[in-house]
Structure 1
Amino acid sequence: MQLSVPDFVGFVGVALVVGTYFLSQMGRMDVRRPLYPALNGIGAVLILFSLANTFNAASFVIELFWLAISVTGFIRAVTAKSSSGR
């Protein structure tokens, strides 16, 4: 199997999404901190990039939702942090 650049980028995205979820489940990553949704969002973007090469409608839709949820979580984490710092 020959991996293209978009395939490799997609695998990096998968590693970010799965890795952050695993770390959160093991209690090693706090999902309330901005890093968690940021890494998930970056992972989703990388997977979306790979889908531009080999399109799959269902994967595209779930990654759009994953990205939207990650952006929402990131905004909440950043605003909660700035609110508590006052």
Structure 2
Amino acid sequence: MDLDWATLVGFVGMACIIGAYAYLTWQDEPNPFVLHITNLVGAALLTVSLLVHMNLPSLVLEGFWAAIAIWGLAKAMRSRRNVR
């Protein structure tokens, strides 16, 4: 296994996504901004890795993962504005 820069970036992205899921599971009231930003960063980092080491199904998955994170952030921002 070649641990080049793209693989290391992918591992950091994977850690972000797993960390976000753990955070969601452990917190009774998770902060949606922490959750979705962490997921978005993880998806972006994994996408960089996948552009170097192409795996099309995983690349498509990360596209959906990023889109869902962006949607979650937009929803959290709208919710925050409505509270004020």
> TM-score surpassing 0.5?
yes
For residues 67 and 50 of structure 1, the distance between their equivalents in structure 2, rounded to whole angstroms, comes to: 15
Q: Secondary structure of the equivalent of 1:2?
A: coil
Match of 1:67? 66
Match of 1:2? 2
Q: Please tell me whether the aligned partners of residues 44 and 63 of structure 1 are also in contact (alpha carbons under 8 angstroms).
A: yes
Aligned alpha-carbon RMSD (Å): 1.4
4+ residue segments displaced more than 4 Å? none
Q: Which letter does structure 1 place at the counterpart of 2:21?
A: Y
Q: Please tell me whether the aligned partners of residues 29 and 36 of structure 1 are also in contact (alpha carbons under 8 angstroms).
A: no
Unaligned runs of 5+ in 1: none
Question: Which runs of structure 2 are paired with 1:1-86 in the superposition (5 Å)?
Answer: 1-27=1-27, 30=30, 33-85=32-84
**Structure in which a larger fraction of residues adopt helix:** 2
For residues 75 and 63 of structure 2, the distance between their equivalents in structure 1, rounded to whole angstroms, comes to: 18
Q: Secondary structure of the equivalent of 2:32?
A: coil
Q: Please tell me whether the aligned partners of residues 14 and 42 of structure 2 are also in contact (alpha carbons under 8 angstroms).
A: yes
Q: Between Structure 1 and Structure 2, how many residues are aligned? A: 84
